[in-house]
Structure 1
Amino acid sequence: MNRKWVEKCRKIEELASHYSRHPLSSPYQPRLGKPWQPSSVWKLFHRQAAALQYVKTCKEDVHVFALETVLDDVGRRLYLVSTYTEFWFYYSKRSKTLAHCYEVIPADTVCKLYFDLEFYKPANPEADGQKMVTLLIKFFIRKLEEHYGLKCSADFVINLDSSTDEKFSRHLIFSLPNAAFKDNIHVGNFIKTVLQPLFPQSTSTHKDPGTSVIEAAKIHDDTSKCNIAEATKGTCNGGKNMPEELCELSSFLVNDKYGGKQPFIDLGVYTKNRNFRIYKSSKLGKNAVFELAEDNQFSCKPPKHLSAEEYIFLCSLISNVRFTDTLKILTCASPSDKNGSSRVSSGGSMISGSDMSGYKASPYPEIDQFIWSVVTREGFQGDEDWCLTMDENGNIKKTQQIAAPTEEHLSGESKDQSETCDKDWDDCIDDACILEAAEDVELADIADHSLAEWNLEHTDIPDELLLEAINDHTSVQQ
C-alpha cells in the first residue's frame, strides 16, 4: 500500500515539474464575432516605421498604437497595428500589457485640434488649473470662429485629467462638427499663431515660439502684471497700453521648475508621427491615468452598439476623423511665414498651395469612386496611393497618373508622372468644356476596347502602309 502511494506521489511531482516548465496555454480569448465588427488584425512591431508601413498594405482600416512595456529590465515601446474596434475590445479588459498606450498620430493625416496642458504645482501655488482650462477653452472657441468661421461650444471638447499632487495634467480634444485640421503640424501652427502676442516681435521672424521651455526674457514684459483672477473676470490692471487679449493670454503662462516663464500649453506635441497618451492609460511606472475631468462638458451620446466609455475613447482619438462631403479642412501657415494665413476648405475646394497625400481613400469620395471605376475596369487593379495639390488658380499638380498596366507595370516597375494642367484647361471652366472632357474619356475607353479586340494573327497590314513606314523611318535617319 505504501509503495503504491509513493509511486503515485512521484508521478504527481513529475507532472507538476513538467507543467511548471511547460505551462498550459492562456485561456481562449474570443475574437470579434458581431456582424458589424471588422476582421481581426493584431500585429506587433519593434519599430514605428515598420508599423506605419504595414498599415499602408493592410486592407482593413487599421491604426498604430504605441505600447510602453519593460523588456530585459529596460523600458521600451512596441507598436501595435489593429482596428479601433479590436483594440478597444482588449484594451477595455484592463490588461497589464495594455496599461500604458499611446495613439500614433500619422504624419500628413487629417486630425483634430488637441492640447496637452501641464504645469508643476509647487512652482505655481496660486494657479487654478480648472479656471485656466475653462478660460483656454472659451478663448480657442472664439479664435476658431475668428479664423475659420466655425461655431462650437464646450460640449464638443473632451476634457481628460491625469493630474497628481505634484503635476497638473490635462488633455483637451476638440471634436469639431464637420471640420478638422489638415495635419497636426497645422494644428501647432494655429496655436502658435494665436499665442504670438506673448512673444517679442524680434524673435518671431527667426523661430516659431516655444517647442521647449521658454526663458523669462522671451515673454512679453507686461504679461507678469496680469494674473488669472483678473483674466477670468474680463478685467486687466496690467501695463497702461496692454491689450486686453494679451492680458487674457498671460493667464496661460506658468512658472517652470527653474524660475522661468512658459505657456502651460505644451507646444512640443505637434510633430510628425507624434505619440499621444490615450484615454484610460498611464505612463510607464506611474498610476495616474487619463479620466474624464470633473469639469468635462463633452456631450456623450453614443450610437447603437457602442458603450459610453468606448464612444469617449473613439472621440478622444486625435486622428479618428470621418470624411464626409461637407468636411472642412483647416490649414494654418507657420507664424514665421509672413505670407502665411489661416485657410478653410470644404468639400472639393482648394487648399492653399499645399500637398495632401495618403492611402486607402482621399478626402473626396466622389473622385475616389470615379478613379476606381476607371482603374479597375476589365479586372485591372490600380494603386491605392494618392497625392493632390491645388494652387490658387485651381490647377492640379503632382497628381499621380494611374492607368491600365503596361509592360513596364507588369515587370514590377512603375513611374509617377507629375504634370501641371496647361492654359487651355485653365480657361476651360464651363459646363460645355467639362462635357467635352467627359466625351474624350468615353472615346479613349472605346479605343481601348477596339485595340483589345484587334487580333494581329488574323489581320494583315497592307503593303502600302509598311512601305510608307519604312520610307518615313529612312528619311528621319538621313
Structure 2
Amino acid sequence: MDGSLDSFTTLSQGTNLESKLEAKSKERNSQEITPGIFYGSPAGKPSKKPVQLLHLLNEIQFDLAKEKEVESREPIWVTFPRQDQAIQYADSHGKAIAVFTYQDHRSGQRRFLATSYEEFWCRYKNMQADVRHHYEIIRQRIPCHLYFDIEFNRDVNKDADGEEMVDILLSAVSSAFWDVYSLTYEPCWTVELDSSTGEKFSRHLVIRIPKAAFRDNSHVGAFVGEICARISRLRDSDDKFNHLFVLEGDSRAMQQSKIFVDQAVYSRNRSFRLPFSSKAGKSSMLLPTHRFRCKGKEEKIVFMEALICKLDDECKDLLTFGTEAANRGGSLPMGAFQVGPSAKTIHFGAFNISGTSPFPALDKFVESIACIEDIPGKIRSWYWFAEYGVVVYNISGNRFCEHIGRQHKSNNVMYIVDFRTAGYYQKCHDPDCREFEEKQCKAFGHP
C-alpha cells in the first residue's frame, strides 16, 4: 500500500494524468459522495477543498479496489528484509495477515514474512525438516495466548526432572487462574512442545483459555511474573516449588539459582520458534510431547493451536494483568476496543503514534486540508485501525471546526480517513459537536 500511496505525489505532474483522474471521478460520480458533501458545512454546502486532493482520495479508492481484486485471486506471501516493513504490510491488509521470521539455511540471513496462517502452513508442511528455521512474531499490542519458555542445563542440574517440573508449574498456573480470574484450569488448555537434547531441557507451553486470550504479551509477561513471585514465596512452605529452581553458569563459582521459566520472552515483537522448526545450525526440532492438548492430534492442528497470536473465532474476552489495576487482574470484552457500527471506543490493536504514519502521502494530504484560514494544522498523532481500514489523525495548531464555522477555544479537532469509501470527515473533542457529527454520519450511512 505504501508504494501505491507514494505514487500519489505525482498527481500534479502533467495535464494528461489530471484529465484521466477527472474522467474516473465523473464515471463514479453517480455512485459516490464526495468527501466535502459527506461531511458538509454549517450552511449545508460542501466545504471548499483543492480539486487535486479530492482526486487523491479517489485514487486511493481506485488503487485499493484493484489491490483487493488481485488479493482475492492470489494468496499473500511477501518477504521483507526488515521487521517493521513486514508489520506495516500486515497492518495494511487487516487481521488475517500474520508476521513470521525465518533464517535462510544457506546464507544465514534473517528475513520477515507476511502471509496468512493457512498459506504459511501449506508451504511450511512441504519444506524439508532441516531447512525449517521459522518463528512467529508475537506482535506488541496484539491479543495473544499465555505462553512459557522453560529450560535448564541438564549437566549442571543432574537431579532435575523436567516433566515433573512442568507439572508443578502448571499447578501454580492453575492456582493463579483461580485467584485472579476465577477460572478453573483444565490440562486440555495446554499445548506442550519439546526441543530438549542430552545437554539441555527445553519446552514451550501455550495455554489456550476457552473463549478468552490476554490483551497482549505485556499483560502475559506481568501475569507470568506474578506466578513466578508466588512460587518464590511458597518455596519455604512447600518443598515441591524448590524443584523449579535450577543452577545457571558454567563454573561452580559463578552458578546462581533461578526459576526455570525464562521471563525475558515477553518483550515487544518477540520471535518465538514454531512447531517442527529447529534453530539454525541445530538439529533439535520443536515437537509436540503428545501430552495435554496435543495428544493424538495431527500435525496441522498442533501447528495451528501452538500459534500464540492466532485466536479462536469464539474468543470473547481479553484478560488483563498489571499493577495499575487495584486487583491487578481483570477481563474486558473483545469488542470494547473496536471501532465499528456498534462501538464508540478505540480498537485495542490500533497504533497511537506521533510522527509519520504508514501512509506518508496521506499524512501530507491531511495536513493540507487542516490548513484553514491561513492557520497551518499539523498531525499531532495518528491511529491506524487496520481491521476497519480507517486512519484517525489528531490535529494540533488549528482548531477550526466545520460544524460551528470557527476555531474552538480549547478543543482540538481530528480528521478521519476511511479507505473503504475513500472519504474523510472532521470531528472534534467538543461535547456540543458530538451529536451533530453522529447525525451527519448516520445520514450518509457511515458508521
Q: TM-score, normalised by structure 1?
A: 0.56
Measured after TM superposition, the shift of residue 343 of structure 1 is: 0.9
Distance in structure 2 (CA, Å) of the matches to 1:419 and 1:77: 45
Q: 1:248: how far off? A: 4.4
1:56 maps to a residue whose letter is D
The one-letter code sitting in structure 1 at the alignment partner of 2:237 is P
Hey, what does 1:277 align to over in structure 2? 273
| Structure 1 equivalent of residue 311 of structure 2 | 321
Q: CA deviation at 1:137?
A: 1.6
Amino acid corresponding to residue 384 of structure 1 in structure 2? V
In structure 2, what is the Cα distance between the partners aligned to 1:97 and 1:321? Answer: 29
Q: Are 1:69 and 1:76, in contact at CA under 8 Å, matched by a contact in 2?
A: yes
Q: Distance in 1 between matches of 2:179 and 2:117?
A: 34
| Alignment pair present for 1:108 and 2:100 | no
2:99·2:113 contact (CA, 8 Å) conserved in 1?
yes
Residue 170 of structure 1: aligned partner = 203
Tell me how far 1:59 sits from its aligned partner. 5.6
* Partner secondary structure for residue 52 of structure 1: helix
Distance in 2 between residues matched to 1:60 and 1:338, nearest whole Å? 28
Q: Which has the higher strand share?
A: 2
Structure 1 residue identity aligned to 2:103: E
Asked if the contact 1:52/1:64 (under 8 Å) is kept, the reply is yes
Q: Is residue 297 from structure 1 mapped to residue 292 from structure 2 by the alignment?
A: yes
Structure 1 residue matching 2:213: 3-state secondary structure: strand
Name the SS of the counterpart of 1:135 in structure 2: helix
1:83 Cα deviation from its structure 2 partner: 1.0
Pair 1:357-2:348 in alignment: yes
Structure 2 SS opposite 1:357:
coil
The answer to whether residue 182 in structure 2 is matched with residue 149 in structure 1 is yes
- Helix, strand or coil for the counterpart of 2:390? coil
Is structure 2 residue 225 aligned with structure 1 residue 192?
A: yes
- Structure 2: 5+ residue runs without aligned partners? 1-71, 339-344, 352-387, 394-411
After superposition, the CA RMSD in angstroms is 3.9
Go from structure 1 to structure 2 and tell me whether the alpha carbon gap of 1:417 and 1:50 turns closer, same or farther (over 3 Å shift): farther
Equivalent residues in 2 for 1:171-320, closer than 5 Å: 171-197=204-230, 223=235, 242-244=236-238, 247-257=239-249, 258-293=254-289, 296-298=291-293, 308-320=298-310
1:251 aligned counterpart, secondary structure? helix
Contact 2:417 2:425 in 1 (8 A): no
Distance 2:181 2:331 in 1: 6
The amino acid across from 1:266 in the alignment is D
Q: CA–CA distance in 2 between the matches of 1:190 and 1:87?
A: 30
Aligned counterparts of 2:241 and 2:133: Cα–Cα separation in 1? 33
Asked if structure 2 preserves the Cα contact closer than 8 Å seen for 1:159 and 1:297, the reply is yes
Question: How far apart are residue 402 of structure 1 and its match?
Answer: 3.6
1:122 aligns with 2:111: no
Query: Does the alignment pair 1:384 with 2:373?
Result: no
Q: 1:315: Cα distance to partner?
A: 0.5
- Larger mean CA deviation between 281-290 and 77-86 belongs to 77-86
* Aligned partners of 1:189 and 1:333 also within 8 Å: yes
Q: Which letter does structure 2 place at the counterpart of 1:280?
A: F
Structure of higher RCO (CA pairs closer than 8 Å, 6+ residues apart): 2
CA-to-aligned-CA distance 1:287-341 (integer Å, 9 cap, x gap): 00011115x1216687xxxxx21111011000001354x611101115xx69561
TM-score, length-normalised on structure 2?
A: 0.60
Instruction: Give 1 or 2 for the bigger CA radius of gyration.
Output: 1
Q: Per the alignment, do residues 443 and 54 of structure 1 end up closer, same or farther by CA in structure 2, a change over 3 Å counting?
A: closer
Task: Determine the structure 1 residue equivalent to 2:26.
Answer: none
Q: Deviations over 1:236-282 (max 9, x none)?
A: xxxxxx434xx443332111123101111000100100000010000
How many pairs were matched up?
A: 309
Does the CA-based 8 Å contact 1:160-1:170 persist in structure 2? yes
The aligned counterpart of 2:321 is 332
Residues 418 and 79 of structure 1: CA distance in aligned 2, closer, same or farther (over 3 Å): farther
Trace 1:421-436 onto structure 2 (pairs within 5 A).
none
Q: Distance in 1 between matches of 2:73 and 2:260?
A: 40
